[in-house]
Amino acid sequence: MKVISIIGQKGGCGKTTTTIMLASALAYTYKKKVVALDCDTTQQSLVKIRNRDISDITPHDVIVDGQKLKEVNAFDVYRVFREQKIKPYEVISCEEKVEPIIDYLVKKDEEGYDYAFLDLPGNVDSIEYNRILSLCNIVFIPFIGDDLNFDSNFDFAKKSCEKVLNSKSNRNLEKIYGYWNKYNSSVRPAEFEDYCKKVKEGLPHIEMLENKFGFTNSVGNRLFMNTLVTPVQYKKSGNINPLIEEMYNKIESI
C-alpha cells in the first residue's frame, strides 16, 4: 500500500481539494482500493465534506467555463453507487499523532488497500508532523503564483520536506512532486518564470508536474469538492483531467 499526502502550510492552497479529486479518481476511475485519513483534528474538513455529500439532496449545477452542463444531485449519485455495488472510499477521522495513524495504515495494508491518503494540517514546526510525514511514500505540494501564497509553501517545503528527506530514519518518502494550483494565465510570464526558477534552484528535491490546475477549475463548483464524484469524468473541466492523470502515472510508477 502506498501512502500519499498533499501538503502545504497556507490555508486555501488546495490540500483537501486535491486530496478529494485524486482519491476519487483512484477509487472510481482507476478502481483502486482507497482510504483517506483526516488527520486535521481542528478542521476535520474531509470528514465534514463526506458527511455533507451523503446527506446532500439539493440539486446543483455543474458549471464549466461559465456554461451549465447538467443538474446533479449528490444523493442520487450515492444511490447509483449503492445500486451498482460501488462502495465509496473510506474517510476516517484520525488524530494528528503517529501511533494511531500507523495503526490505521497497518490495518488497511493487511486488508489489501492500494492507497492511503493523509490529509494533514500545515504544522510545519511540529515534531509530530514531521514524524507523520515520514510515513508517506509520495508527497504533492501545491504552489500558487502570488507572493503571499508562494513564499509560504516554498518555506514550508524547505523546512519540512528537506528535514524528512535528509533524516537518517527516513525509509518511506521516495518522491516529492510540486504542481501549480489556481494558476492564473494573466500572471506576467516573467513573474511566473521567476517562481519556477526559485523552485528549481531552491527546492532541487522537488519535481514539478507539467500540468497546471487552472484558477477557475474549482471555484464555485461543488462537485470538485465532492467525495462521491470524480472530476475526471467531465471532459470539459479545464485542465483537471491531465493533472490527475499525470499524478496517477507518477504514483503508479513508484
CA distance 254 to 239: 24
At 3 the pLDDT is: 97
Give pLDDT tens digits for 14-62: 888 889 989 998 998 898 999 999 998 888 889 998 888 777 655 555 5
Average pLDDT, the chain: 81
Report CA-CA distances (Å) from 36 to 94, 95, 113, 167. Answer: 10, 13, 11, 26
- Could you tell me if residue 22 is left (phi over 0), alpha (psi between -120 and 50 degrees) or otherwise beta? alpha
At 230 the pLDDT is: 64
Residue 131 pLDDT exceeds 80: yes
At 22 the pLDDT is: 93
Give pLDDT tens digits for 75-84: 666 666 667 6
Closest CA to 38 of 110, 131, 100: 100
At 127 the pLDDT is: 76
Full 3-state SS string of 130-186: HHHHCCCCEEEEEECCCHHHHHHHHHHHHHHHHHHHCCCCCCCCCEEEEEEEEECCC
